A = this chain, B = another copy of it.
Amino acid sequence: MSRADTARRGGRPGRAGIRDVAAAAGVSITTVSDALNGKGRLPDATRRHVREVADRLGYRPSAAARTLRTGKSGLIGLTVTTYGDEPFTFTEFAYFAEMARAATSAALARGYALVILPATSRHDVWSNVALDGTVVIDPSDQDPVVSELVRQGLPVVSDGRPAGALPVTAWVDNDHEAAVLDILDHLADAGARRIGLLTGTTTDTYTRLSTTAYLRWCERVGQDPVYEAYPAHDPCAGAVAADRLLARPDRPDAVYGLFDPNGTDLLAAARRYGLRVPEDLLLVCCSESTVYASTEPPITTLSLKPRRIGTAVVQLLIDAIEGLESQQPVEQVIPTELIIRTSSRRRPPRTTVSPPRTPES
Are A115 and B291 closer than 8 Å at their CB atoms?
no
Closest-by-CB residue of B relative to A114 is: B116
A268-B290 contact in complex given A62-B130, A116-B113, C-beta closer than 8 Å: no
B239 touches A294 (CB 8 A): yes
Find out whether the CB atom of B108 lies under 8 angstroms from the CB atom of A121.
yes
Decide yes or no whether A225 CB sits under 8 A from chain B.
Answer: no
The size class of the interface chain A forms with chain B is 35 or more
Q: Mark A92-111, 1 if CB is under 8 A from B, else 0.
A: 01101100110011001001
Q: How many Å lie between the Cα of A87 and that of B97 in the bound state?
A: 10
Q: Which residues of B contact A67 (CB under 8 A)?
A: 64, 67, 130
A265 within 8 A of B: yes
The 9 A-B residue pairs with the shortest CB-CB distance in the complex, in nearest-first order: A64-B67, A63-B130, A64-B68, A268-B294, A264-B294, A114-B116, A64-B130, A87-B104, A97-B97
Other CB < 8 Å A-B pairs besides A60-B152, A87-B104, A113-B115, 6 of them? A14-B153, A58-B151, A63-B130, A74-B129, A104-B116, A291-B291
Binding site for B on A (CB under 8 A): 12, 14-15, 58, 60-68, 71, 73-75, 78, 85-88, 93-94, 96-97, 100-101, 104-105, 108, 111-118, 121-122, 124-130, 151-153, 235, 239, 261, 264-265, 267-268, 271, 289-291, 294-296
